[in-house]
Amino acid sequence: AQSVTQPDIHITVSEGASLELRCNYSYGATPYLFWYVQSPGQGLQLLLKYFSGDTLVQGIKGFEAEFKRSQSSFNLRKPSVHWSDAAEYFCAVGVSGGYQKVTFGTGTKLQVIP
Amino acid sequence: DADVTQTPRNRITKTGKRIMLECSQTKGHDRMYWYRQDPGLGLRLIYYSFDVKDINKGEISDGYSVSRQAQAKFSLSLESAIPNQTALYFCATISLSGELFFGEGSRLTVL
């Protein structure tokens, strides 16, 4: 079964600073990888996804993520954080090929300070 | 209108009561999911359905049941609610490209 680890429960960054959120996954084959964002009181919204091809993927709101097979990682990055990026971020791994199941990490809560 | 709609958005109930959370979607997707979110635990899959005749247990199905009334409707029931079922519940559909579309969540408190 697949699993996802997000080692950082809470991260605080200054507005304008760069951001990297870590995600490690466990899955026997090439995974489908996702990053979702949850703003307070809201459901989850897809930021970006990786299925195959270029290992650096671009998403919405200026986010990007890089798939590194050797490290089983899919870290999320943003060069300059805005106050509106404060939210909880979830990494997820999907299994497809007939049955689509998505497993989520425990989330990283991002705080942005002025 | 939202693509995935959950009702009720908030509910407070007592131990032992039967509760139903309803979900409807306008995405036209066949596959629907119920997740539970608890602080520090992320989202955990309760049940998922690939069509009206195909319902599957997720990782934490004990104490829950579901009904897929139509392609667009997927309900989650707690037959006899207990306090540790206090959580935020999300319904979601999934596209063929693997993207999940979530409702805004149903916050359930069991006293």
Categorize the per-residue pLDDT at A98 as very low, low, confident or very high, splitting at 50, 70 and 90: very low
Answer yes or no: is pLDDT of A97 > 70. no
Are B80 and B94 in contact by the 8 Å Cβ rule? The answer is: no
* Cα–Cα distance, A28 to B48 (Å, whole number): 22
Probe site for chain B from A36, A88, A106, A108 (most B CB atoms < 10 A): A106
Categorize the per-residue pLDDT at A96 as very low, low, confident or very high, splitting at 50, 70 and 90: low
Quick check: B42 and A46 CB within 8 A?
Answer: no
Are B75 and B55 in contact by the 8 Å Cβ rule? The answer is: no
pLDDT digits (tens, 9 = 90+) for A50-92: 988 889 999 999 999 999 999 999 999 999 999 999 999 999 9
How much is the pLDDT for B1?
A: 64
Probe site for chain B from A100, A103, A108, A109 (most B CB atoms < 10 A): A100
Q: Dihedrals φ, ψ of A60, to 5°?
A: -80, 165
Quick check: B40 and A106 CB within 8 A?
Answer: yes
Q: Is B24 left (phi over 0), alpha (psi -120 to 50) or beta?
A: beta
